[in-house]
Chain A
Amino acid sequence: NAGVTQTPKFRVLKTGQSMTLLCAQDMNHEYMYWYRQDPGMGLRLIHYSVGEGTTAKGEVPDGYNVSRLKKQNFLLGLESAAPSQTSVYFCASSYRAVQETQYFGPGTRLLVL
């Protein structure tokens, strides 16, 4: 039981490049989330999903897109990376509701030059 995994662990991009971050969970959770963590800012929600095929915007969705084609996977895409997207990205999941315990992945550090 791996819990929540994230791929890759670290990535360097040039401005304007695109990439996709992959989150996978093996706990049969319905809800999945993408956060970004910046120094002094805590965690801010980018997008989330309440089930396969559904997504919703969070607090800071601009510049990101997401897809939940399979229940166990939640993809975060950056179509045209900007230096302001340099951050640590965390994926999380919860069983059936937002008020349940969230289980987090180990994070992906992204540097946009």
Chain B
Amino acid sequence: AQTVTQSQPEMSVQEAETVTLSCTYDTSESDYYLFWYKQPPSRQMILVIRQEAYKQQNATENRFSVNFQKAAKSFSLKISDSQLGDAAMYFCAYCTGNTPLVFGKGTRLSVIA
């Protein structure tokens, strides 16, 4: 079974600084999809960024970018210019075209003013 590992249960960052959240996954598939979802204190899950494994270019969304290392099965999320509103749980997730999303256990990010 596919697994997604987030090795950092908690992280903190100073406002305006950069932080990187780690995610590794285990798969034997060559074609798959990776996601980062954000869950703020409101509990509402929101997509942050999505990456298709066949695309070598790292996905970016404004201050959010990923470092996708396919050979290493690593998918880290970089948040630049951190803001107080970035404080949340962040979940890494994986799926193939045929199997539903598998989530990691999450990383709680605190932003210090």
Contact = CB atoms under 8 A, between A and B. Distances in A.
B97 A97 contact: yes
B68 to A, nearest CB: 15
A33 B35 CA distance: 16
Interface of B, secondary structure class, is loop
A75 to B, nearest CB: 18
B97 A99 contact: yes
Contacts of B42: 106
A43 interface: yes
Nearest to B34: A99
A98 B47 contact: no
Contacts of B106: 42
Interface of A: 33, 40-45, 48, 58-59, 88, 90, 92, 97-99, 101-102, 104, 106-107
Interface band, chain B = 20 to 34
A45 B43 contact: no
A98 B97 contact: yes
A58 B91 contact: no
Contact of A42 (B44, B96, B98, B105): B105
Given A42-B91, A99-B95, A33 B43 contact: no
Given A42-B104, A43-B103, A104-B45, 15 more contacts: A42-B91, A42-B105, A43-B101, A48-B100, A59-B102, A88-B43, A98-B96, A98-B99, A99-B95, A99-B96, A101-B35, A104-B44, A106-B43, A106-B44, A107-B44
Nearest to A102: B101
Contacts of A58: 100
Contacts of A90: 45
Closest 5 pairs (CB-CB, A-B): A104-B45, A42-B103, A99-B33, A42-B105, A43-B103
A83 to B, nearest CB: 22
A33 B96 CA distance: 16
Nearest to A43: B103
A47 to B, nearest CB: 10
Contacts of B101: 33, 43, 45, 98, 102
